[in-house]
Each structure stands twice: as structure tokens, then as C-alpha cells.
Amino acid sequence: MTDAHILSAFPRDYAAARDGFRRAAAEAGCAVTSYETGDVGPRGEALTIDVAVSHAHAGVGTETAIVLSSGLHGVEAPFGSAVQVTALREITAGRLRPEARLVLVHALNPSGFAWSRRVDARNVDLNRAFRWPGMPDAPPDGPYGAIDALLNPPRPPSSDLFRLRVVAAALRAGPATLKRAIAAGQRSYPRGLFYAGTETPPLQTFLEREVPGWLAGATTAVHLDFHTGLGRRDNAALIVDYPLIETERAWWTGRVGAHVLSESLRDDKAYTAIGSLGQWCAARRFAPRYRFAFAEFGTFGGPRILAGLRAENRAHHWAKPGDAATIAAKAGLRTLFCPPDADWRVRAVRRALALIGAVSSSAAPA
């Protein structure tokens, strides 16, 4: 697997990513199904979630499934798509021989992918929107409400010393407190950042209906959901945001190492998003043993990421689609979540494939 091989897997846009994924999946011998979401892209094209299912090599290990999903946050999808396409190409070339069934879910949020947004067509952050009986209570929106005017002023993007103002706010409230107030999720400001929505998202209904079929017969499932942006540029982590029992913790650390596993519930400096995909999957348990982690690859610092999200959100709500400010904000967001330099892309994909290999080779329960 050469660097050029990896770099060619990064798509220029959603349409190219969808075509590349479908082609790579078919060449790898997967069964491919496309599901229309009802949303449309910038050219009026129908948007789809595409799923490839591959049975284990030589029929071994079909009771175990490895789920690789991408694009829950749309603008982060180019990286996850590149990882999925590279893995499929490695299967076709015979360099990757999975011992378990693979389920690759491409572009969970195709609207965000196509429109260069983190959120879906309803401005909902899908990793804050899942709902289930007995889920933890959402935090009060008061802390977020106190800073909504800073995060989403009702005008197009402009230079207003935002990053300095965020640093000042962090000094006043404390960095961890401010981080939780901003990023945990909120339900009172539909045009704001990290909006969790007020209804069950269509994606949850879709997964509730389809996942049992993809995992039929599997007693163990290991699910990695690919994300970018959080952490240092050279950082790669598997983040678990639901309680782990000791045997589960030992399983993860035994395969990826304690330095890679990050448990947000045990980290005083971390935040836990309300209604996350990981919490919902853990509660729903699509298999008797369902292990879920966000595979997170760092790009830029938190203040810079937040400034980019703010600029794109302002452009989306308060500027016209063809305005220079809108075009610049969306281009900037794509760069923040999928840096264009070859070194980051190659190293991140190689690390992602190593993580896939680590959880795949010993996916059966310990």
C-alpha cells in the first residue's frame, strides 16, 4: 500500500466519494445497498447512505461483525470515506483478509457531506440527537444560552476577534466548563451550534430498522465510527462515552493499548455529548456483545475548530449560498476537518487501518 494509493482514496466531493465507495465495495465482492434519505445535494441530486457487507474470508468468523461507519458529521466524511475505500482496496488486493464479517456504512449524514456542513439538513448535530428510554437527562440550555450570541451572531461571517473572546470566556468560566457548555448539545437554539433537535432523527429510525439485518447471526459486533478534528494534529484515539465494565475495558486496552483508549466518563476534562450514537448503540445492543468506539483523528486546536464551525454556521444562516464569505467558510471547514497535506492524510489512514486490524484480528470475545 503506497502513499499514492492512500491519497487517491480521498474524494473531491460527496458524489465522487459515493461512486468511489460503491466501486471499491463491488470490486471487493461486497453486497452493496443504497438507501435514499430524501434530501438533495447542491445540484439537486438524491443523497444516499451506502452500505457494503462482506462475509468473512472462507466463511470463518461470520458470527463476528466489524462495523465501520463514516460521515456522522458530514464535513468529516472525506477522511472516513478514504479509510473505508482503502480498506476495501486492500481486501481486493489480498493484503487484508478479514476474519469477520465487515459492514461498511458510508456517509451517515450525506447532506452534511454534500453541503460541507457538520450537521444535517435540519441543522441537527446527529451525535447529539439520538434518543432512547432511560437516557441521561440533557443538560440545561442555560449555559449555552449565555454564549449563543457569541457563537452565532445573526449576520454573515466577519472579523470580530472571536478566538480571543473565546479564550477570555474560558479564563472566566474555566476551559472544561466552557467546553461542556458549548459542545455537550442544546435543544433551544435551532440555528445555534451543537443543536440536538427536538425529535428522533431520521437516521436513528433508519439504523433501528436496518442494523439487525446487517448483523443477522452475529453474536459479537465491534463498531468504529470515524471522526476528525478533536485533539492534537498527530493524535488518534478510540473514544468510549458510555460506562465500561472491567472486562470490556480490558478487551479494548488489550487490542489497542491504554494510551489509545479514551473514556470520556472517566476524564474530568472531557465532555459527554447528550444523545450520542455511541451511547445509543450501547443501550440498543444490536448484538449480545456490541462494542462501540469513536475513532477520532486530531487536526487543529479547539479554538480554531470552533471558529470554523461558527463561521460556516453564520454563513449558512445569515449569508447567501454564492457569497464569497459562504464559499470561504465552507472551504475553511473542509480544511479543518480533512487537512489537505499529504503527510496528515497518509499517516491518519495508516493509523486507522492499524486500529481496524487490531480490533478485527481478535474480534471474538476474550
Domain count, the chain: 1
Which 3 state secondary structure label does DSSP give 94? coil
Alpha helices, DSSP H, located in the chain: 3-7, 14-27, 77-92, 110-114, 142-145, 148-151, 162-173, 175-183, 202-214, 246-256, 277-284, 302-318, 324-337, 342-361
Say what the pLDDT of residue 201 is.
97
Residue found by looking up cell 441530486 in the block: 45
- Supply the pTM of this predicted model: 0.94
What residues have CB less than 8 Å from 159, skipping those under 6 apart?
Answer: none
Question: Would 152 be classed as within a structural domain?
Answer: no
Which 3 state secondary structure label does DSSP give 37? strand
Contact criterion met (CB below 8 Å) for 100 and 65: yes
User: What is the span of the domain harbouring residue 32?
Assistant: 3-132+194-303+332-361
For residue 363, is pLDDT > 60?
no
Contact criterion met (CB below 8 Å) for 319 and 330: no
For residue 208, is pLDDT > 90?
yes
Say what the pLDDT of residue 269 is.
64
CA dihedral 271, 272, 277, 278 (to 10 degrees): 100
Question: Would 201 be classed as within a structural domain?
Answer: yes
Question: Would 159 be classed as within a structural domain?
Answer: no
User: 20 vs 233, which has greater pLDDT?
Assistant: 20
Which 3 state secondary structure label does DSSP give 33? strand
Average pLDDT across the chain, whole number:
91
Contact criterion met (CB below 8 Å) for 310 and 161: no
Question: Would 42 be classed as within a structural domain?
Answer: yes
For residue 130, is pLDDT > 90?
yes
For the chain, what percent of residues have pLDDT higher than 70? 96
Q: Which of 15-24, 47-56, 217-226 shows the lowest per-residue confidence on average (mean pLDDT)?
A: 47-56
**Cα-based angle 84, 89, 91 (whole degrees, multiple of 5):** 95
User: 223 vs 135, which has greater pLDDT?
Assistant: 223
Question: Would 37 be classed as within a structural domain?
Answer: yes
Say what the pLDDT of residue 60 is.
47
For residue 58, is pLDDT > 60?
no
CATH of the domain at 124: 3.40.630.10
252 vs 240: CA distance, rounded Å: 10
